[in-house]
Amino acid sequence: MSRKVVVTGLGALTPCGNDIDSYWDSLKNGRSGLGMITKFDTTDFSVKIAAELKDYDPLDHFEKKESRRLDKFTQYAIVASNLAIKDADIDFSTLDRDRIGVIIGSGVGGIESHEAQHKVLMEKGPGKVSPFYIILMIPDIAPGHVSMIHGLRGPNYSVTSACATGSHAIGEAAKTIERGDADVMICGGTEAAVTPMSVAGFGNMKALSTRNEDPVGASRPFDLERDGFVLGEGAGIVVLEAEEIAQKRGARIYAELAGVGFTADAHHVTAPAPDGEGAVRAMRIALNDAGLNADEIEYVNAHGTSTPFNDKTETISMKTAFGDHVKDLSISSTKSMTGHLLGAAGGVEMIAALKALYHDTVPPTINYENEDPECDLNYTPNVAVEKKISTVMSNTFGFGGHNACLIAVEYRQ
């Protein structure tokens, strides 16, 4: 018989706050983390806005020499993991470290280091490329470092599935515990992609908002005047445990992670499948895995990227998956406040869903001002709503047709 998986720790670095309390406070109060790009000169760029971390100094967390050998995406993963571990109040020395693992994904890995070292190669030649270049860049180095810091010798790897990365990592970790291959898993996503190459690339494919004159209002999921997503950075990490392990050590339990659904569109490199067919299947698989009917879900943290086609298609997919119940659903896109964290999106958004469940509060979709006839559901416009919540769903859908759906329910012994 499979084991029940529970959530005991949350850790986040986001454009809306560098810890769980400040992140959640920003979400429930509708405060945006978006602004003008400060990391590089945007003079020649059509996109000049992003959702950067604020007040983040590597030297607050790492020695100077160490920080130079860690790309920002790895730094964010380590910091958020440490926050989640502290939040879980877990002492690894009392547990079997061979049965504690780490799955942390990234959409693009160490792109900042890649760009910097490519410049060195072009300007100074191959002999000047850093010997640390590869281990700065590869996505799997983030979970590798977390495991080394804490001596965790269980399953350890990275997941890369674009915007669905963080959700895939959490879902894989849950299944690892469920089938008995680990007792505790540190999991989620991390990203540090506010770089010239990323902004130019996403901008030239017309995926990004160009509302440069109004960065706070640029991410507007489901709004009629949405014009693209806003690139964000950070990390979202959760601690998952087998129920009996958490109970034995008297852990505070946020929720049970009850359902996981993964599918592929097998359709197009960027566009979702017609009518969101792949997303519908992911939601239905997660519902079946959780043993729930569609009408038992009370809140959906939507993918809600603020792109014209995605938001319309996601609306269609929710109508199909939930049927008549869709009119009773509370839905929101916290990307309206955080921007789109790519590989970290699934992590920070699952945390938002878990906090919504734990505090019985639906965070809003801010900047929702103009109703789109094709996006006509209850997206919790602009102001949080307090209501009893016992079941939540978090959806992430990535370039390449990757769909991941996670369901958490109120914990009951």
Asked whether residue 255 is assigned to any structural domain, the reply reads no
Active-site annotation holds for 114: no
Which of 16, 303, 402, 405 does the annotation list as catalytic?
303
Phi then psi dihedrals of residue 192, to 5 deg: -140, 65
SS3 category, 17: strand
Answer yes or no: do 225 and 273 share one domain. no
Rounded CA gap, 380 and 382, in Å?
Answer: 7
Mean pLDDT along residues 395-401: 94
Rounded CA gap, 212 and 39, in Å?
Answer: 16
Rounded CA gap, 54 and 14, in Å?
Answer: 8
Beta bridge partners of 100: 184
Rounded CA gap, 168 and 174, in Å?
Answer: 10
Which of 16, 163, 187, 375 does the annotation list as catalytic?
163
Rounded CA gap, 121 and 130, in Å?
Answer: 9
SS3 category, 361: strand
Asked whether residue 369 is assigned to any structural domain, the reply reads yes
Answer yes or no: do 302 and 164 share one domain. no
Using alpha carbons, select from 409, 411, 393, 407 the residue that is nearest to residue 260: 407
Answer yes or no: do 157 and 180 share one domain. yes
Domain C-terminal end among 248, 269, 292: 248
Contact 243, 265 (CB under 8 A): no
Overall size of the chain counted in residues: 413
pTM for the predicted model, two decimal places: 0.97
Answer yes or no: do 242 and 264 share one domain. no
Asked whether residue 49 is assigned to any structural domain, the reply reads yes
Kindly give, in sequence order, each residue whose CB lies less than 8 Å from that of residue 226, ignoring residues fewer than 6 positions away. 209, 220, 306, 307, 308, 311, 372
Domain C-terminal end among 220, 248, 276: 248
Using alpha carbons, select from 242, 223, 228 the residue that is nearest to residue 365: 223
What tokens appear for 181 in the block? 């291959």
State the virtual CA torsion across 366, 369, 375, 379 in degrees, nearest 10: 30
Q: What angle do CA 105, 354, 32 make, to 5 degrees?
A: 80
pLDDT at 373: 96
Which CATH number characterizes residue 117's domain? 3.40.47.10
Rounded CA gap, 313 and 274, in Å?
Answer: 8
- Count how many domains the chain has: 2
- Using a 10 angstrom Cβ sphere, with 0-12 exposed, 13-18 middle and 19 or more buried, the burial of residue 177 is buried
What tokens appear for 175 in the block? 């299944």
pLDDT at 272: 84
Asked whether residue 199 is assigned to any structural domain, the reply reads yes
What's the mean per-residue pLDDT of the chain?
Answer: 97
pLDDT digits (tens, 9 = 90+) for 339-395: 999 999 999 999 999 999 999 999 999 999 999 999 999 999 999 999 999 999 999
Confidence check: pLDDT of 271 > 70: yes
Confidence check: pLDDT of 1 > 80: no
Rounded to 10°, the helix 165-178/345-359 angle is: 70
Answer yes or no: do 193 and 296 share one domain. no
Mean pLDDT along residues 59-69: 94
**Residue corresponding to tokens 């879902």:** 171
Asked whether residue 22 is assigned to any structural domain, the reply reads yes
pLDDT at 270: 81
pLDDT digits (tens, 9 = 90+) for 101-140: 999 999 999 999 999 999 999 999 999 999 999 999 999 9
What tokens appear for 154 in the block? 């269980």
Confidence of residue 7 (pLDDT cuts 50, 70, 90): very high
What tokens appear for 407 in the block? 């369901």
Using alpha carbons, select from 379, 233, 212 the residue that is nearest to residue 303: 379
pLDDT digits (tens, 9 = 90+) for 195-250: 999 999 999 999 999 999 999 999 999 999 999 999 999 999 999 999 999 999 99
Q: What percent of the chain has pLDDT over 90?
A: 97
Domain C-terminal end among 185, 217, 248: 248
Asked whether residue 254 is assigned to any structural domain, the reply reads no
Answer yes or no: do 224 and 336 share one domain. no
Considering just the CA atoms, what is the radius of gyration of the chain in Å? 20
Phi-psi region of 162 (alpha: psi -120 to 50; beta: other; left: phi over 0): left
What tokens appear for 7 in the block? 């959530």
Amino acid (1-letter code) at residue 336:
S
Answer yes or no: do 270 and 242 share one domain. no
Which of 145, 150, 168, 340 does the annotation list as catalytic?
340
Active-site annotation holds for 163: yes
Phi then psi dihedrals of residue 137, to 5 deg: -95, -40
* DSSP H or E segment with residue 243: helix 243-248
Q: Give CA separation, 344 vs 116, 191, 211, 223, in Å.
A: 22, 6, 23, 24
Using alpha carbons, select from 249, 236, 253 the residue that is nearest to residue 96: 249
Answer yes or no: do 238 and 265 share one domain. no
Mean pLDDT along residues 33-59: 97
pLDDT digits (tens, 9 = 90+) for 288-309: 999 999 999 999 999 999 999 9
Answer yes or no: do 350 and 231 share one domain. no
Q: What angle do CA 24, 251, 156 make, to 5 degrees?
A: 80
Answer yes or no: do 219 and 290 share one domain. no
pLDDT digits (tens, 9 = 90+) for 130-179: 999 999 999 999 999 999 999 999 999 999 999 999 999 999 999 999 99
Phi then psi dihedrals of residue 323, to 5 deg: 60, -140
Contact 310, 403 (CB under 8 A): no
Confidence of residue 2 (pLDDT cuts 50, 70, 90): confident
SS3 category, 132: coil
Asked whether residue 363 is assigned to any structural domain, the reply reads yes
Active-site annotation holds for 187: no
Domain housing 213: 5-248
Beta bridge partners of 211: none
pLDDT at 275: 86
Answer yes or no: do 117 and 198 share one domain. yes
Phi-psi region of 291 (alpha: psi -120 to 50; beta: other; left: phi over 0): left
Answer yes or no: do 241 and 321 share one domain. no
